[in-house]
Structure 1
């Protein structure tokens, strides 16, 4: 795939039409037809996100979610859930959710969110991962939202008191920010979800009162997760790709279908260039991540690439001397650049300016190899420039971005 396409091709790849197609296909790949209609019967406020698409977007949202937030379907699908955050959303709670995603675990927190019209509401947010039984990796996340009306009533009362006494320079209303993060498999009956909220008591004193999620709220969140997981599990069986709310820990499965953490996947998905990440510590050095640009260039789907060796791009006229150069560079743990003839899924050949480089962890050991592709078919000068950037500069930039992502998040990935 070109490291950087032409302006027209780039806008098509990252434009609305392409993004919409990726969002639509996100549920159709692991589940059979009808899954969306079945999910519509789950009368809860929830979204489903895809960590393998750029910026971890929402790929499904329930009617209850639209009514709760005031957003339309077109304003939600394809966007990251951060649009619900606002100026008083507690950043520690957001980081707690991100950490749960990084660890691929369930999480339940109370968080201050905002509707489309700017109205604030307290939300009991329950996050749960969806694992592929065949591959042992997370393929989706479910996020259930339960408005905590009693908390919002406390806040409204406190805000009214503060506004009434603003002229006397009395206390400012603080954000509720006590949260609980628990594994989905753990019984939540004994957990108390409290937020320390402050309000003025008409005498300038700060009064704290508990902002507690009711037992019914907690049970509704669990029921919502159960309902959604039940539908996803059912329709995944129809497609022959079963899913589960727990990870398969089979060592044999990991060798056959290697995976990296969802947090690293999300970070890598933000890199627009065409590249793959391979694991040299597994048999056959399989691909463990492929960028959307790579899939666009080669015509393969993600499922057809992950776990495969890069030789799938080779064909009858691929020069074996180029292959030998790449192998020698890997053995020497050195970068390498070759102009090699590769083939797309439909057997169409293209000239690939391929740059490979080792990606090391914090201790200096090679954790992965990255291969950055640039389509130079019909170009005589491999170092052509675009907006002042040469091919080498673009490829080195992509390698640098991959290294930053891996070093910052390798703790969540496979141990070496």
Structure 2
């Protein structure tokens, strides 16, 4: 069919953009040499980015790779759920998820699985990394310490393989990767979730909970308790990693800290919570979220597709007013229409000429809408962009129903996310 090649090229472009974003995740905040410095840290750990789609791993230490049996290519870009298996306790995953929601450290013992299917008890220590400038969580550090001596001798007899014998080989060979086919497999081949266009509010991103029905009738298995010396060693490892990140961030002028700063910048742009950011990142649409309660109504969240459309980086767009996209030929009547809808707390759809970072123009079918919190008050305004350059307005009205419906779907997804998660773990 005539559309096959453009669709294929679009997917390839998206994959390239994802790889670039993952590569830039460390480069954006830390100076050259950060990977070499982290390579000298003798611990098993990963660094994840909650600002990217599906909260992927952006760095994995050699110790982690040796412990898990995976290669760098098999780990970086993937969500940490691939270490889970059929006997991983859902309640423990929920503890990790809550820690991410509340943007705090946590330490749990969890049953994980290596690439060859071998189960092992893992002392998992999670620590957030905060930006000093705006207080956002930009990374999480996850330290893994295998627990060598079990407190219960029967643990290993109950769990030996993460994948059932009848599970297709293609599942074990990498369908856990979030870049593939829009289907996620959790631990075994029969748990799946279609995510062509959805907001996964039930998951933290770093670890997804297993299907509730699988554990509904099971009693909670006591976790394998780690030694106190192992717990202290994990804390020391996280402290060492955070020290390296802090040192290398100072050279870029984007200092990171192990706790949220009380700097004046937080008054200008209050960060949204990591859990809300993760949920918003699952919405596959170009959009921004602006806060009407802050001076000049700054952008507080920008989707990856918005960054690709406009050419701006996340650091360049956060804190800016949406007028950044306006130019000399932008219709003032359209701008006035948008402003009037904001004052009236109403939705608005306009076709407006906007400009990218490189000053190239594009026709933007912009849909704005107020986003209310659980109490019914307007918390944010969302602006969903659709590039309609080269498409006649009448033609778009006749044939463009589906793209506009996607815009409305994105607004609905944002509303669900904000009502469920706004204020969880934030500094407001």
- Tell whether the 8 Å contact from 1:86 to 1:113 is kept in structure 2 after alignment: yes
Task: Name the TM-score, length of structure 1 as normaliser.
Answer: 0.83
Counterpart check, 1:214 vs 2:227? yes
Distance 1:376 1:220, change over 3 A: same
The CA deviation at 1:156 is 5.4
Q: Could you say which residue in structure 2 is the equivalent of 1:257?
A: 269
Counterpart CA distance in 1 for 2:223 and 2:339 is 63
Counterpart CA distance in 2 for 1:146 and 1:415 is 31
Q: Deviations over 1:17-71 (max 9, x none)?
A: 2222111110000001110010000010000000000000000000000010011
- Tell whether the 8 Å contact from 1:353 to 1:382 is kept in structure 2 after alignment: no
Q: Deviations over 1:356-388 (max 9, x none)?
A: 0011111111111100000000000233547xx
Q: Deviations over 1:63-94 (max 9, x none)?
A: 00001001111110001101101111111110
Counterpart check, 1:228 vs 2:227? no
Counterpart CA distance in 2 for 1:365 and 1:333 is 10
Counterpart check, 1:382 vs 2:381? no
Counterpart CA distance in 2 for 1:38 and 1:320 is 52
Q: Could you say which residue in structure 2 is the equivalent of 1:78?
A: 77
Distance 1:341 1:291, change over 3 A: same
The CA deviation at 1:413 is 6.0
5 Å-filtered alignment, 1:262-273, equals 262-273=274-285
Q: Deviations over 1:273-301 (max 9, x none)?
A: 10000001111110010000000000000
The CA deviation at 1:10 is 3.5
Counterpart CA distance in 1 for 2:324 and 2:398 is 27
Q: Which of these residues, 282, 285, 296, is aligned with residue 284 of structure 1? A: 296
Counterpart CA distance in 1 for 2:223 and 2:296 is 56
Q: Could you say which residue in structure 2 is the equivalent of 1:331?
A: 343
Classify the secondary structure of the residue corresponding to 2:330.
coil
Counterpart CA distance in 1 for 2:96 and 2:300 is 24
Counterpart CA distance in 1 for 2:398 and 2:144 is 50
Q: Could you say which residue in structure 2 is the equivalent of 1:353?
A: 365
Distance 1:338 1:9, change over 3 A: farther
Q: Which of these residues, 373, 385, 401, is aligned with residue 413 of structure 2? A: 401
Counterpart check, 1:391 vs 2:390? no
Classify the secondary structure of the residue corresponding to 1:358.
strand
Counterpart CA distance in 2 for 1:126 and 1:210 is 15
Task: Name the TM-score, length of structure 2 as normaliser.
Answer: 0.81
- Tell whether the 8 Å contact from 1:258 to 1:307 is kept in structure 2 after alignment: no
Counterpart CA distance in 1 for 2:424 and 2:224 is 33
Give ranges in structure 1 of 5+ residues lacking alignment. Answer: 1-5, 161-207
Give the number of equivalent residue pairs: 360
Q: Could you say which residue in structure 2 is the equivalent of 1:184?
A: none
Q: Could you say which residue in structure 2 is the equivalent of 1:127?
A: 126
